[in-house]
Amino acid sequence: MHAVFVLPRFYPYKGGYENSTLAIAKCLVARGHRVSVFTTNADDLESLWVPGYKTFPSGSEPVDGISLHRLPVSYNKLARRATRFAGLVPYWRWKAQFWRPAFSVIGLRAALRNIDADVFHVGPLPYNSLIYAGIEAAEQRDVPVIATPCLHFGESANSEVARHYAQPHQIALLDHCDRVLCMTATEREKLAELGVAKEKLAVTGHGFDLGVATGGDGKGIRDRFGIDGPVVLHLGMKAHEKGSTTLIEAMKELWSRGSNAWLLMAGPSLRAFDEYFAQQAAGCSRLINLPAFADDEKRDLLAAADIAALPSRVESLGLVLLEAWANAKPVIAADVAVSRALVEKAGGGVIVPFGDAARLAHAIEEMLKDEAGRRTMGLCGQSKAGDYDGEKLWPRNAEEFERLAASRSGVKYNP
């Protein structure tokens, strides 16, 4: 079997989706299959649309038995504006290709058209144009296509996030896939409500590498930065939607009241966060802001934490929460469906409204006061983290590829 993945970013970029995709691809290779990955040259998220941000060299290379093809993003403003007009047409195929946040990848459609494949994999939302390119290639070759959409719901009473992931043309994209792999039962139920055929939906879950997440040197991190108090850790992308700015505002409130806690933030960031952070130097002497990290650094950061604060409203699972739990650390998450179901069921932390700095500050303060409570929540989370051991879940995803490629007799073109 030859499995072809199409996605916006890939190794060596380290995000939850990218790490999981790499692990599943490596699992397929280990099971004797060929795997090709087609992706962009973007490193920074914003480099998908704007020149001047970090990129990887374009070209092809092998990665752990995977054939990786990295193609450049087009920044031609005239062409992009022209295609936006095409995206106004109320037809799902045109919407998917041309409407925001679509971008053009030079040579992608030709490359997919010319490659042999037994199954395509596409995702995540809202990268509609890349998903469409994979579906189009699968239709042209009459082979099956799998999607892992990573649907984000946002807050229950606020459609600001959900509207970017559940537009009619996006649901049509998923319904034109043969299989849609969901990370949680919550995601499966929501997609069924939105109109994706139930028989196409499967909960396979995404996991993490326990060995990569645990066994770190927390004392080394504390010594390195001269940390002399409890540590609140924010790990991953730093952006408003991830709750990063709200967390800083919450910590500023605690520091103004004399707290000796430290805020340790590590991961890539969006420009808007960088601009915000540049204005926060005064009064933030106990804030350490670190860039993207290697796997050994992640272990150390998790080991150093007393609390993992990840109040994000854009999550489809929350692998960082699970990695914190693997280290027996209690978590604070935003009140969105997937985090609420995960955290409240496990008893591994607390939930706060997204964007509410005062409520977040209160939750951190109360948790820091209660060492026994932190220990109990951390151990409850740790007992749940094993359910997301990637060594168990990655083969489950690989089996979906194998079953679909083996059973497929051909899908008719459906305009």
Same domain, 238 and 378: yes
- Does 345 reside within a domain? yes
What is the model's pLDDT at position 177? 97
Q: pTM of the entire structure?
A: 0.94
Whether the Cβ atoms of residue 259 and residue 283 lie closer than 8 Å to each other: no
What is the model's pLDDT at position 408? 67
- Does 412 reside within a domain? no
- Does 413 reside within a domain? no
Same domain, 307 and 372: yes
- Does 145 reside within a domain? yes
What is the model's pLDDT at position 407? 79
Same domain, 188 and 268: no
What is the model's pLDDT at position 412? 40
- Does 414 reside within a domain? no
What is the model's pLDDT at position 373? 97
Identify the domain containing residue 74 by its residue range. 2-207+390-407
Same domain, 374 and 401: no
Same domain, 322 and 216: yes
- Does 58 reside within a domain? yes
Same domain, 195 and 220: no
pLDDT in tens, the chain (415 residues): 999 999 999 999 989 899 999 999 999 999 999 999 999 999 999 999 999 999 999 999 999 999 999 999 999 988 888 888 889 899 999 999 999 999 999 999 999 999 999 999 999 999 999 999 999 999 999 999 999 999 998 888 888 888 889 899 999 999 999 999 999 999 999 999 999 999 999 999 889 999 889 999 999 999 999 999 999 999 999 999 999 999 999 999 999 999 999 999 999 999 999 999 999 877 799 999 999 999 899 999 999 999 999 999 999 898 999 999 999 999 999 999 999 989 988 999 999 999 999 999 999 999 999 999 999 999 999 999 999 999 999 999 999 999 999 976 444 434 4
CATH number, domain of 254, equals: 3.40.50.2000
Same domain, 151 and 197: yes
Same domain, 354 and 397: no
> What's the structural domain count of the chain?
2
Same domain, 157 and 224: no
Write the secondary structure of the chain as one string of H (helix), E (strand) and C (coil).
Answer: CEEEEECCCCCCCCCHHHHHHHHHHHHHHHCCCEEEEEEECECCHHHHCCCCCCECCCEEEEECCEEEEEECECCCHHHHHHHHHHCCCCCHHHHHHHCCCCCCECCHHHHHHHCCCCEEEECCCCCHHHHHHHHHHHHHHCCCEEECCCCCCCCCCCCCCHHHCCCHHHHHHHHCCCEEEECCHHHHHHHHHHCCCHHHEEECCCCECHHHHCCCCHHHHHHHHCCCCCEEEEECCECHHHCHHHHHHHHHHHHHCCCCCEEEEECCECHHHHHHHHCCCCCCCCEEEECCCCHHHHHHHHHHCCEEEECCCCCCCCHHHHHHHHCCCCEEEECCHHHHHHHHHHCCEEEECCCCHHHHHHHHHHHHHCHHHHHHHHHHHHHHHHHHEHHHHHHHHHHHHHHHHHHCCCCCCCC
What is the model's pLDDT at position 282? 75
Same domain, 174 and 264: no
Same domain, 135 and 258: no
Same domain, 241 and 354: yes
